[in-house]
A and B are shown apart, each in its own frame.
Chain A
Amino acid sequence: MKLLALEMRWLLAIADAILPSDAHERLPDGASAAPMAEFFDDVLVRSPLRPMLGLRAAIWAITLSPPLVIRSSRFFGGLSPEERVRHLATLGASEIYLLRELPVLIKTLALMGYGAMPDVQRAVGVEPAVSQPPVWARSEHAP
């Protein structure tokens, strides 16, 4: 399965909100500095259809639900970084099981891509850190 360009933009925005840049002195680079589009593309192509439909549903639901979840007049793309995090945290604490699983799915996937980058592992102190980016990330986009 492949995402529409619009859906990939939304997904990258969500990943960036989950793992923001300049959020911690040891981790200056967030998801936006990692080749997350390449990672998500690889996941989508390789994985079974149903969970990827779930990912697609999560992207749409998270993107379009701020008016319902945090009473914002804007969709996810129009929120400030703080509002984005509040929206994700509110969804993640929802009393409705499927709603709170939406950001968990994207968080889990995003960390699998972000956390595999050598610079990130070195910054966290993983010893030994991987010596080179994973196969899906071997491009000029690697941080």
Chain B
Amino acid sequence: MIRERVFTAADVSGRSAVEDSADVVIIGSGCAGATAARVLSECGLDVIVVEEGPWVKPAERQHDTWGSFRRSWRDCGFQVAEGRSLLPVIQGRCVGGSTAVNGAIVHRMPEKVLHHWKSEFGIDGMITMDALERIYARLDDELGVGAGPDAVLGRNNELMRKGCDAVGITSNVIRRNVRDCEGSAHCLQGCPNARKQSMDVTYLPRAVAAGARLYADARADRLVVERGRAAAVTGMFVDDENGRVRTGFTMRARRAVIVAASAIQTPLLLQASGVGRISGMVGQRLQMHPGASMIGVYDEPVGIWSGISQGYETTHWWDERMKMESVGVPFEVGAARLPGYGRELMRRIAGFGHISQWGVQIRSTALGSVRRGWSGRTVIKWSWSPEDIARLKIGLRRLAEIAFAAGAKAVYPGIHGMPEEVTGLDAFAKLDVLPDDPRLFHGIASHMFGTAIMGRDPRTSVVGLDARVHDVNGLFVADSSIYPTNMGVNPAHTICAVSWLIAERIAGA
């Protein structure tokens, strides 16, 4: 990235204020913001990207998980949704957003979902399957999308393939945006080899090369609206290391402001700025993909620490609103899922080299909300629906079945009310009599949607079919906040594609 056009809190230290202006100001540098920046800047528009998190270069990536959490993850990985249980909600918070710390999993928009959006929410026009396919092809080419090579797949993924084949279900090596993957299993800490084609090493450098300026450590606090038009973004540079506020900023926009800060942060900014309020829907209808994982124990070595972090999946039961994938988490995270304390735990840690870990991701039906709490903290309210839990139980049982079919001698279900260690599928009959209570499971959620939804009617939606906020000219939302529902598959590629379409329209306006 051209250093002269990237500014951090340290770069502006000592200045009383920072002011800049551009045709378009983009808030957020994840898949939505970076893609919009790449399209707009290469169309010849002057672009500013404002990113709250720090600029963590690949060489600075920490190999330990806490080192990654503390610099690159929202709330150091402690962000939770409050409901009947506390559900960790994982997001990146750095230049490149979640793309810097995700599994690089690529999926396209399922046609059934887009059809549902059209029939149920009236979404047509800009977001069509044909339009998306056109952009997906560009993204695939530019971001090196392809199935991971067998040579670096790793045993955790191979065992999932073996188990799926033995059970007789469809499954596949995951398509990912990675070039020449080395199988270091460090996707979730941020690829130290810069093989993952995350936004910080792809579209942001492209945008900056085309003239865009990137401001990191820059927290957007307010959208400034003048005469009904988005005119500027104000905020503060916050030192990543000590949390100290250094310098205020004002970024003026001549043509448009694009909010691309995620389905959690975008509604907070809209709420704080008093915009998009006609429908009362800002921050409402939060949807997610919650899930839980299952550990398998094998006689043979697995070595979950090498190979592709998330390299294998089955969408065989997608119509039942579930999808399974391998989850190669780092040792210090995976070991925390091992049952027991003391000597028993240490015995299991010593055997960590013989475990697999796979997860089930649920296309949840639950709706939640996001708002700013009285102390300034982010309040995410969300709880699993009973249907979600019923599906989770089925999914976990199926994961166990796949693990046993792959040769596991035991599984650790991680479910309160079940034995810590189970050696046969019969034990899962007990799941049927357990209540549909989310507090029995150790879940985690990713992929947030729907807190500033798109629609024709300003009374029921926040943005129109062109992604412009109904009540403010020149203000657009480009991230998954505008999606009326979740997708059931990893959304990053679609977020890129939809943002691309929005940016094309702004560039042509």
By a beta-carbon cutoff of 8 Å, the part of chain A in contact with chain B is 17-20, 23-24, 26-27, 30, 39, 42-43, 46-51, 81-82, 84-85, 88-89, 92-93, 97, 100-101, 103-104, 107-108, 111-116, 121, 123-127, 130, 134-136
Q: Is the CB of A27 within 8 A of B350?
A: yes
Q: Is the CB of B70 within 8 A of A42?
A: yes
Cβ proximity bits B45-86 to A, threshold 8 Å, 1 near / 0 not: 000000000000000001111110110000110101000011
**Chain B minimum-CB-distance residue to A101:** B86
Q: Is the CB of B67 within 8 A of A135?
A: yes
Please measure, in the bound complex, the distance between the C-alpha atom of A32 and the C-alpha atom of B158, giving whole angstroms.
37
Q: What DSSP secondary structure best describes chain B's contact surface? A: helix
Cross-chain contact of A88 among B69, B332, B342 (Cβ < 8 A): B342
Q: Is the CB of B341 within 8 A of A107?
A: yes
Other than A24-B350, A125-B303, give 7 A-B pairs with Cβ distance below 8 A: A42-B70, A85-B343, A89-B340, A97-B439, A115-B330, A125-B301, A134-B67
Please measure, in the bound complex, the distance between the C-alpha atom of A50 and the C-alpha atom of B80, giving whole angstroms.
10
Q: In the complex, what residues of B have CB within 8 A of residue A101's CB?
A: 86
Task: Name the distance in Å between A27's Cβ and chain B's nearest Cβ.
Answer: 5
Q: Is the CB of A17 within 8 A of B336?
A: no
B126 at interface by CB-CB < 8 Å: no
Provided the pairs A48-B75, A88-B342, A107-B341 are in contact, do residues A114 and B332 lie with their beta carbons within 8 angstroms? yes
Cross-chain contact of A51 among B63, B65, B78, B349 (Cβ < 8 A): B78
Provided the pairs A23-B347, A27-B346, A97-B85 are in contact, do residues A113 and B341 lie with their beta carbons within 8 angstroms? no
B353 at interface by CB-CB < 8 Å: yes
B333 at interface by CB-CB < 8 Å: yes
Q: Is the CB of A126 within 8 A of B305?
A: yes
Q: Is the CB of A134 within 8 A of B64?
A: yes
Q: Is the CB of A39 within 8 A of B335?
A: no
Q: List 8 A-B contacts (CB under 8 A).
A: A17-B341, A46-B70, A88-B342, A97-B439, A112-B69, A113-B66, A124-B331, A126-B353
Q: Is the CB of B62 within 8 A of A135?
A: yes
Provided the pairs A50-B377, A107-B336 are in contact, do residues A124 and B353 lie with their beta carbons within 8 angstroms? yes
Q: Is the CB of A30 within 8 A of B85?
A: no
Q: Is the CB of A124 within 8 A of B350?
A: yes
Q: Is the CB of A136 within 8 A of B347?
A: no
Instruction: Output the residue of A39, A115, A127, A130 with the most chain B CB within 10 A.
Output: A115
Cross-chain contact of B332 among A26, A112, A136 (Cβ < 8 A): A112
B131 at interface by CB-CB < 8 Å: no
Q: Is the CB of A23 within 8 A of B342?
A: yes
Cross-chain contact of B341 among A103, A124, A135 (Cβ < 8 A): A103
Task: Name the distance in Å between A53's Cβ and chain B's nearest Cβ.
Answer: 11
Provided the pairs A101-B86, A112-B332 are in contact, do residues A47 and B78 lie with their beta carbons within 8 angstroms? yes
Cross-chain contact of A124 among B333, B336, B349 (Cβ < 8 A): B349
Task: Name the distance in Å between B356's Cβ and chain A's nearest Cβ.
Answer: 15
Cross-chain contact of B66 among A30, A43, A51, A81 (Cβ < 8 A): A43
Cβ proximity bits B344-378 to A, threshold 8 Å, 1 near / 0 not: 11110110110000000000000000000000010
Q: What DSSP secondary structure best describes chain A's contact surface? A: helix
Q: Is the CB of A81 within 8 A of B342?
A: yes
Q: Is the CB of A48 within 8 A of B352?
A: no
Task: Name the distance in Å between A80's Cβ and chain B's nearest Cβ.
Answer: 11
Q: Is the CB of B332 within 8 A of A47?
A: no
Task: Name the distance in Å between A106's Cβ and chain B's nearest Cβ.
Answer: 10
B306 at interface by CB-CB < 8 Å: yes
Q: Is the CB of B336 within 8 A of A111?
A: yes
Q: Is the CB of B340 within 8 A of A115?
A: no
B138 at interface by CB-CB < 8 Å: no
Provided the pairs A88-B341, A126-B305, A126-B331 are in contact, do residues A116 and B346 lie with their beta carbons within 8 angstroms? no
Task: Name the distance in Å between B442's Cβ and chain A's nearest Cβ.
Answer: 8
B179 at interface by CB-CB < 8 Å: no
Q: In the complex, what residues of A have CB within 8 A of residue B65's CB?
A: 112, 115-116
Task: Name the distance in Å between B355's Cβ and chain A's nearest Cβ.
Answer: 11
**Chain A minimum-CB-distance residue to B347:** A24
Task: Name the distance in Å between A32's Cβ and chain B's nearest Cβ.
Answer: 13
Provided the pairs A39-B66, A89-B340, A124-B352 are in contact, do residues A111 and B335 lie with their beta carbons within 8 angstroms? yes
Task: Name the distance in Å between B292's Cβ and chain A's nearest Cβ.
Answer: 14
Q: In the complex, what residues of B have CB within 8 A of residue A107's CB?
A: 336, 341, 345
Within 8 A of A (CB), among B308-357: 330-333, 335-336, 340-347, 349-350, 352-353
Provided the pairs A24-B343, A124-B331 are in contact, do residues A134 and B66 lie with their beta carbons within 8 angstroms? yes
B134 at interface by CB-CB < 8 Å: no
Q: In the complex, what residues of A have CB within 8 A of residue B116's CB?
A: none
**Chain B minimum-CB-distance residue to A51:** B78
Instruction: Output the residue of B64, B301, B343, B353 with the most chain A CB within 10 A.
Output: B64
Provided the pairs A42-B66, A124-B349, A134-B64 are in contact, do residues A112 and B416 lie with their beta carbons within 8 angstroms? no
Please measure, in the bound complex, the distance between the C-alpha atom of A113 and the C-alpha atom of B70, giving whole angstroms.
13
Q: Is the CB of A20 within 8 A of B352?
A: no
Please measure, in the bound complex, the distance between the C-alpha atom of A115 and the C-alpha atom of B352, giving whole angstroms.
11
Instruction: Output the residue of A26, A43, A112 with the most chain B CB within 10 A.
Output: A112
Please measure, in the bound complex, the distance between the C-alpha atom of A46 and the C-alpha atom of B78, giving whole angstroms.
11
Q: In the complex, what residues of B have CB within 8 A of residue A104's CB?
A: 442
**Chain A minimum-CB-distance residue to B71:** A46
Q: Is the CB of A112 within 8 A of B341?
A: no
Please measure, in the bound complex, the distance between the C-alpha atom of A130 and the C-alpha atom of B66, giving whole angstroms.
13
